[in-house]
Amino acid sequence: MSLLWLRVAVLLYAFASLAVLPAALYDRPRWRHIAIPATTAAIFFHFVSLVEMLNAAHHRLPVDTHEAQSFLSLVLAIAFLFIYGRYRAISLGIFLLPICFLLGLLPAFRPGEEATAFPHHLHAGWIFLHVALLLAAYAALFLSLLASLLYLVQERRLKKKSRGLTWLPALETTDQIALKTLLFGLPCMTAGLLIGTVIAQQTIGPTYFLDPKVLLSFAMWLAYVAMIFIRRHSGLRGRRAVYLSSFVFLVVLAVWAANQLSVVHRFAAP
């Protein structure tokens, strides 16, 4: 049944992705009232699917790639719904909802093709926190980068006095989204790295700190802290904010790519 609920969720994400277009681009309130309930329903079915999937596999965390994809899709959808509830910035759904759909598509219709998994002897609860917190931090960073890009586009539109793209959020709104998502992601990343460090010390030992992905992860944390410090103390906005967010996001991609060189995070399925 978990696959059935996930497929329903993916179809609802697809429907919401289409409904959000007229709602954001043409300011049609009727479509807004369709897109948001469809997203809410998708999140509900997605959550039920993920819980059933993990229960059936006898673990409490995403342990392989398609489960991690599904979990990240759910995190992004919840983040979009939260931001909409706080700022009414439905235009972010133009970008986030299709991503949620694409991330859930493979796990829903072709599950089990990836074989990357965490070792089962580790404490499931702490591993769950480690993975969930880091995925939340990655999602927050992605949202911040997206908001910074929208800020740049809106700023150019206002300078040129263009009549197009009137559906974009106000500059102050996008700037607040970019900063507050970063502030939300920092404690998530910090706690996730600390939990991972404690687990690794107990199971692997000091060689954990020589792992390429671990080194890049701490470099990512330092870049994340530097970005927040610069934004808060210099009022960094516009093009420079986009460059800074893009740099940190590239570090995140490097961390993911380091799985191929990691002896700690690269696990084979039993």
95-142 residue pLDDT tens: 899 989 988 887 887 665 444 444 555 456 777 788 888 888 888 888
Q: Which two tokens stand for residue 38?
A: 């469809």
Higher-scoring residue by pLDDT: 252, 14: 14
The whole-angstrom separation of Cα 184 and Cα 107 is 28
54-72 residue pLDDT tens: 888 777 677 677 788 888 8
Residue 52, exposed/middle/buried by CB under 10 A (0-12, 13-18, 19+)? middle
Q: What pTM did the predictor assign? A: 0.64
* CA-wise closest residue to 108 among 140, 132, 135, 73: 73
DSSP bridge pairs for 116: 268
Mean pLDDT comparison of 94-98, 121-125, 196-200, 230-234, highest-scoring range: 94-98
CA dihedral 255, 259, 263, 268 (to 10 degrees): 150
142-151 residue pLDDT tens: 888 888 788 8
* CA-wise closest residue to 16 among 102, 94, 104, 103: 94
Please give the pLDDT value at position 117: 45
Higher-scoring residue by pLDDT: 22, 117: 22
